[in-house]
Each structure stands twice: as structure tokens, then as C-alpha cells.
Amino acid sequence: MLEALKNRRAIRQFETREVEREKIESLLEAATYAPNDRMREPWHFYVLQGDSLKRYEQVALDYLEKRFPTKPHLVESSMEAITKTPLVIVVTSAIVDGDEGATKDNTFAVSSAIMSMWLMTEQLDLGMVWRTRGVGLVHETALHTFIGASDKEQLVGTLCIGYPAEEKASMKKRTSFTEKTTWL
Ligand SMILES: Cc1cc2nc3c(=O)[nH]c(=O)nc-3n(C[C@H](O)[C@H](O)[C@H](O)COP(=O)(O)O)c2cc1C
């Protein structure tokens, strides 16, 4: 298990080839086994490929052009994150009305589900990066509106997935748990 955790990497460059439906379903299934408070199973997945992915590109482009009106090069390079990705899965978490604690717990559960998907991509010879910023649009309303999520859902991750077209980078040095742990 430790080896699998150490080997997992964020992959950002993908081949153009499509990801098979069977593999996508394996990723989605892996997510559903994540721990979650009171079995609320608070996740929902929006799968974007082909036409829908093209439309998302337009949403992202509109956002970036508005945000960086004087930086066309930045807009262009940022867009590559999705124009060169064959599969995007947007993951949302359910908001529990009037219960901030449960809403937070839902986000924690969805984060666990995303981690399960991330590890599963490795098993399937795929690569993935969890994006929130830039074209990830997790903190913006544009993507929420585009996918048709309800006001009882919040976005947690925009997962860019495909067959890797980059060498796996070596692991960025991690701080030892000894510096992050207080034994009480
Ligand atoms: C909540 C979250 C948000 C992230 N958002 C982005 C992002 O917007 N863009 C990006 O390139 N990577 C993003 N990442 C990936 C991290 O940059 C990456 O995990 C980190 O650099 C460590 O590298 P590793 O995953 O290969 O160990 C995100 C990761 C997490 C967990």
C-alpha cells in the first residue's frame, strides 16, 4: 500500500486517445467505496468527453479571457490543460441544508472518493490530476452552471484524466510525519 501511495503522481499531459467506457466505469465504481458519514454517499459525477468537453472548453475560455484580458499567452497555455485532455470528470458534494458540519463531512467523503479514483487510474495505466484552480473552475459559478449542478451541490474537483504522455516525475520531497505529528 505504501508503495502505491508513494508512486501516485499528478499527471497533466495526455495522449489524445479516448479512455474506454469500461475504464471510466471502473473509476466511478472505485469512488463509491469511499468512507462517508452516515452513508449519505454525497458524491455526484459529471463525465465530459467529446462534444460536452468541447463546450466546457468554451466555458473555460470565456472565464480566462475575462479574468486575464491582457494576458492572451497565459490564457492560451492555461487552455491546454483541457484542450489536450480526453476525459474530464467533475465531482460534486451534497450540501446539507442548515448543517454545516454534515456539509463539511460530505466534502471530506468526496475528497476520499477522489483519492480512490486517483489510485485507481494508476492501476488502469491512466493518469490524472485533480484541478481546482484556473480551468478547474471549482471555485467559480461558470462550471457549476454549465454542468447543471443543483444549488444543493458544491464542486470539489475537476479531474483531468487520460493516457499519460509524460514520464512520471519523481516524488516531490515530503516532510516527514515526525514534523507534522504531535504525540499527546
Ligand atoms: C485539492 C487539490 C487541488 C489541486 N488543484 C490543482 C490545480 O488546480 N492545478 C494543478 O495543476 N494541480 C492541482 N493539484 C495537484 C497538485 O498540484 C499535486 O497533487 C501536487 O503538486 C503534488 O504532486 P503529486 O500529486 O504528483 O504528488 C491539486 C491537488 C489537490 C489535492
* Dist CA 106 CA 126 (whole Å): 27
**Protein residue with its CA nearest to atom 20 in ligand 1:** 10
Give residue 184 CA to ligand 1 midpoint distance, Å. 31
DSSP letter for each residue of 97-153:
TT-HHHHHHHHHHHHHHHHHHHHHHHHTT-EEEEE-SGGG-TTSHHHHHHHT--TTE
pLDDT for the residue numbered 171:
87
Atom of ligand 1 nearest to the CA of 133: 8
**Protein residue with its CA nearest to atom 23 in ligand 1:** 10
Return the percent helix, strand and coil in the chain, to nearest 5: 50, 15, 35
DSSP 65: H
Residue among 131, 135, 139 to mutate when testing ligand 1 (max atoms within 8 A of CB): 131
Q: Using one digit for the tens of pLDDT, what is the confidence trace for 3-31?
A: 999 999 999 999 999 999 999 999 999 99
Q: What is the pTM of this model?
A: 0.97
Q: Using one digit for the tens of pLDDT, what is the confidence trace for 38-53?
A: 999 999 999 999 999 9
